[in-house]
A and B are shown apart, each in its own frame.
Chain A
Amino acid sequence: MRGDPTGDGFAVPSETDVATRLRQEIDTWTPRSRPDWVDLLARAAQAPRDLPRWAVYPAASLALAAILMIAFLVMASLNISLGATPVQSHLP
C-alpha cells in the first residue's frame, strides 16, 4: 500500500499503511513489570504531591501579587516610570 511518489522521489506510504505499521509496532510494546496492586495502594496512601484544587487560585494570586510587588520595588529603585518618557525638546 504505497502512496504516490512525491516530487522528491520519495515513495510516501499511504495513511492505511502508516496506521497498520503503527498498530503492529505498538502491539509489540510490553511493560517489563506486571501490574503491581500493592505498590499502587502504597503510592495512593501517600499524600498527593499536587496542590489541592481549592488552593490553586489562592496560590497563583499570591505568586502574582509577589511578582507585581517585586517589579514595583525594582522599578521604584531604578526610577523607571510606567508612563511614556517625556521628549526632551529644545525649542528655539
Chain B
Amino acid sequence: MEGGRAGFLDPATQFQELYEREFTAVFRTVLAIVLEPAAAEDLTQEAFVRAYRARHRYQPTAPPGAWLHRIAVNTAISHLRRAKLARALPARLYLPPDRREYDQAEAKGVVELALAALTPKLRAAVVLHYYQGFTRDEIAGMLGIPAGTVASRIAKAMVIMRRELAASEQPDDLGRSHSEGILRER
C-alpha cells in the first residue's frame, strides 16, 4: 500500500526514483481495474509514459502517488472504453486483439470474481480506497468527481462484493450458479 504516502519525490527532477518506487502499487491498481495481468503491465508502463511527459506540469497540491494513480486510473478506464467501442464496430472494420468482455474479465480467485462483478469505475473506487488507502476526498480530487459520488460508488461496490463473496462460498451449487448468473446477465 505505497499510495504516495512515503517520502516526497518531485516528478520533475526525481521521476526515475518515483517510477521505481510506485511501479508495483500502480500496477496493482491498474490490474484491479482491468483484471488482465498482461494488459495491466502494458497500461502501467503507458501510464508512467504519460506521467513522464506531463512531469513538468505536476502541481504539488496532491502527493505524487495520488497524481500517478489519477493518470493510471484514467489510462485503464480509457483502455476499457476503447475495447468496448472496438467490439461495437463491425468485425470488418476492426478485429479486436482480445475477445474478453468489457467488464467480465476472467476471474480466478474469489476476490477477483467479486471484483469482476463490478463496473470499472466501481473497481477503481474500491482499490483506491480499500487497498491504496486514499480517503474519499482524495479519490474525489483524483477522479474529478464529488466526494458524495465516491462514497456512493464505494458503498455500492461493497454491497455487490459482499453478496458475491457470500454466494461464491456456498458449499453447494447455489453459490456458483448465482455468480455465473450475474456474469451472464452483464
* A26 adjacent to B131 (CB under 8 Å): yes
Interface status of B135 (Cβ within 8 A of chain A): no
Which single residue of chain A is at the shortest CB-CB distance from B46?
A43
Q: Which of B23, B127, B165, B175 contacts A13 (CB 8 A)?
A: B165
Mask for B107-149, Cβ within 8 A of A = 1, else 0? 0011110110000000000110011000000000000000000
Q: Assess whether A56 is interfacial by the CB under 8 Å rule.
A: no
- A6 / chain B contacts, CB cutoff of 8 Å: 166
A19 to B111, CA, bound (A): 10
- Rounded to whole angstroms, the CA-CA distance of A31 and B27 in the bound complex is 7
B66 at the interface (CB under 8 A from A): no
* CB contact under 8 A between A31 and B41, given known A15-B162, A18-B165, A25-B112: yes
Write the nearest CB–CB distance from A46 to chain B, whole angstroms.
9
User: Of residues 3 to 30 in B, which have CB atoms within 8 Å of A's CB atoms?
Assistant: 16, 19-20, 23-24, 27-28
On chain A, the residues within 8 Å of B102 by CB distance are none
Q: Are B28 and A26 in contact (CB under 8 A)?
A: yes
Q: How many A-B residue pairs have CB under 8 A?
A: 85
Whether a CB of chain B sits under 8 angstroms from the CB of A57 is no
Q: B150 in the interface, Cβ–Cβ < 8 Å?
A: no
Is A19 within 8 A of B166, CB to CB? no
B176: Cβ under 8 A from any A Cβ:
no
| Assembled-state Cα–Cα distance A41/B44 (Å) | 14
Q: Is the CB of B111 within 8 A of A12?
A: no
**In the bound complex, do residue B45 and residue A29 qualify as a contact, i.e. CB atoms below 8 Å apart?**
no
Q: List 9 A-B contacts (CB under 8 A).
A: A10-B170, A13-B162, A18-B162, A22-B127, A29-B28, A31-B44, A40-B49, A44-B49, A44-B52
B positions within 8 Å CB-CB of A: 1, 16, 19-20, 23-24, 27-28, 31-32, 37, 40-41, 44-46, 48-49, 52-53, 109-112, 114-115, 126-127, 130-131, 158, 161-163, 165-167, 169-170, 175
